Chain A
Amino acid sequence: MNQVIAALRKELLLGWRGRAQAMAVIVFGSTLLLLLSFAVGPNATALRQLSGGFLWVSLLFASTLSLAESFRQEREQRALEGLLLLGAHPAALFYGKALANWLQLFVVGAALVPVMIVLYDPGLSGIGRLLGVLALGTAALSAPGTLHAGLAAQVRAQQVLLPLLLFPLMVPVLIASVRASSLLLLGDPMGQAASWALLLVACNGIFWPLCGLLFGYVIEE
């Protein structure tokens, strides 16, 4: 547990020092939000209906940048190897990194919400609960994201491979997050958002232990 906290502290410190990178990811996500509207045309009703989906697709695309970045320095400095030689537990390194990635993705997502509201004008009533969905969705994104980023970082075609491996896994997370967000933004007369949030909890319950278990194999080579 101490190792997890130490690893998390290290990641957060590095993340804070490299905050320009997080800023760039947010700008990239905002650009995506803007671009997606051109795929639909200037139909305000349709755009409002799709705003939740746009938010999550932008966040998903932007996440590959920040996930890949989280392993760039490790690879360049061979830092993970050093930590493993010091006797750090791979699972502790994983959970430290995944928690830091979760926080970073949540910040990126939270920063994209106002941009989405300005551009697409959905209702403001469910914003508090939307942040809850954002927390659950980014958690379900960061655990497998961290595992596959760690894997892709050591491969030649890193930029292609991370989305190729990660995006198919993210289908249930994307569906549940988009459904829950849309319901919260556009009104939820049947109270269905909670069951989609439950699905996100289930995804987290599967991905976090499984990826933590497998991460050792990815970096111990």
Chain B
Amino acid sequence: MDTHLPAYSPKAVKRAWLALAGALGLLAIGTTNGLFVAPPEHYMGDVYRILYIHVPTAWNAMLALTFAFFSALAFLWKNDWAWDARLEAFVETGVLLSLLLCVQGSIWAKPTWGVWWDWDPRLTTTAVMLVAFVGILALRHFVDDPRRRAVWSAVATIVAYASVPIVYFSVQWWNSLHQLQSSPKTVDAVMVTPLRINAFGMLLLLLAFSSLRSQLARRRLARELAPPPAAASLALGGEG
């Protein structure tokens, strides 16, 4: 199968650094707003302020894994190495954000619910997602041949992502305690503004990290696929 060779793009790296600076700026504004401007919540007091980082993390973790899913589909469809690099980047950032999400959730749950963990649909689904995608990172780590690594991790990503809604649904049936989602209509504007700023800040952070990571993956792919075409096809023929 003929595939495009990935190219390292210094332009994309520059853009990623700009996005990172923007992300840090937005997060600084949003977090300062959330910590000092927004009023304490009626029932939870100041504890609720973690939501200004928790909710954006949750949104962006889901987003990162969704991007990973579409990268996997695009790789199988287009056979373009750039999608493999993106898949690797989005799975990694998605795993990182899911881990952060679980940690933040525990920090919030202890003073609010009195426990570190609860078998609530969203918590359990996040934890399952986390281990499922850590498994995919492990798979990528254990396969040396770039072609197989790309195809197999794309397959595993598609199956893992397809199972996320069933996991959520089944755990919801099984047990539920987490509060329902709030909508902007139920929350005052003073509280919504820092949340929105931080959500975009996290999004920029996600895109910046993913872009840097995918450039790194491209460099590695370029190195792995480096041997001249004749030798490469020989090696493929020997293994396949």
The binding surface of chain B is classed by DSSP as helix
Q: By the criterion CB–CB under 8 Å, are B170 and A217 in contact?
A: no
- In the complex, what's the smallest C-beta–C-beta distance from A78 to chain B, in angstroms? 11
Decide yes or no: A214 and B170 within 8 Å by CB, A161-B142, A165-B135, A168-B128 being known contacts: no
Residues of chain A within 8 A of B148, CB atoms compared: 154, 221
Least distance between B148 CB and chain A CB atoms (Å): 5
Q: Any chain A CB within 8 A of the CB of B43? A: no
A171 CA to B169 CA in the complex, in Å?
11
When chains A and B are docked, how far (Å) is the Cα of A156 from the Cα of B132? Answer: 19
A14 in the interface, Cβ–Cβ < 8 Å?
Answer: no
Task: Please name all residues of chain B whose beta carbon is closer than 8 Å to the beta carbon of A214 when the two chains form the complex.
Answer: 155, 158-159
Complex contacts, B171 vs chain A, CB 8 Å: 171-172, 175
Instruction: Contacts A155-B142, A169-B132 given; indicate if A210 touches B159 (C-beta within 8 A).
Output: yes
CB <8 Å contact, A172 and B166: yes
| Pair B152/A206 contact, Cβ less than 8 Å | no
Residue of A nearest to B152 (CB): A151
How far, in angstroms, from A144 to B156 measured CA to CA in the complex? 10
Residues of A within 8 A of B158 (CB): 210, 214
Complex CA gap A155/B135 in Å reads 13
Query: B170 near A172 (CB under 8 angstroms)?
Result: yes
Given contacts A156-B142, A202-B166, A218-B152, contact A168 B159 (CB under 8 A): no
Interface of A is mostly: helix
- For window 164-188 of A, CB contacts with B under 8 Å fall at 164-165, 167-169, 171-172, 175-176, 179
* Cα-based distance from A167 to B167 in the complex (angstroms): 12
CB-CB contacts below 8 Å: A199-219 with B: 199, 202-203, 206-207, 210-211, 214, 217-218
If A155-B139, A164-B138, A217-B76 touch, does A199 touch B152 (CB 8 Å cutoff)?
no
Contact with A along B130-148 (1 / 0, CB 8 A): 0110111011001101011
Number of A-B contacts (CB under 8 A): 96
Contact of B142 with A217 in the complex, beta carbons under 8 Å: no
The answer on a CB contact under 8 Å between A206 and B162 is yes
| A48 in the interface (beta carbon within 8 A) | no
Categorize the interface residue count of chain B: 20 to 34
Using Cβ atoms and an 8 Å threshold, which residues of chain B touch A221?
A: 145, 147-148, 151, 240
The closest CB in chain B to the CB of A156 belongs to: B142
In the assembled complex, B36 has its CB within 8 A of some CB on chain A: no
In the assembled complex, which residues on chain B have CB atoms less than 8 Å from the CB atom of A154? 148
Q: How many whole Å from B89's CB to the nearest CB in chain A?
A: 20
Among B91-135, those with CB < 8 Å from A are 124, 128-129, 131-132, 134-135
The yes or no answer to A160 lying at the interface (CB within 8 A) is yes
What 0/1 readout, one digit per residue, does chain B (152-166) give for beta carbons within 8 Å of chain A?
101110111011001
> Which residues of B sit under 8 angstroms from A165, Cβ to Cβ?
132, 135-136, 139, 156, 160
30 inter-chain pairs at a CB distance below 8 angstroms, sorted by A residue, are: A151-B139, A154-B148, A155-B142, A155-B143, A157-B142, A161-B139, A164-B131, A165-B135, A165-B139, A165-B156, A165-B160, A167-B131, A168-B160, A168-B163, A169-B163, A171-B170, A172-B163, A175-B170, A175-B174, A196-B173, A199-B166, A199-B169, A199-B173, A206-B162, A214-B155, A217-B76, A217-B151, A217-B152, A217-B155, A218-B151
Chain B residues with CB under 8 Å of chain A are 76, 124, 128-129, 131-132, 134-136, 138-139, 142-143, 145, 147-148, 151-152, 154-156, 158-160, 162-163, 166-167, 169-171, 173-174, 240
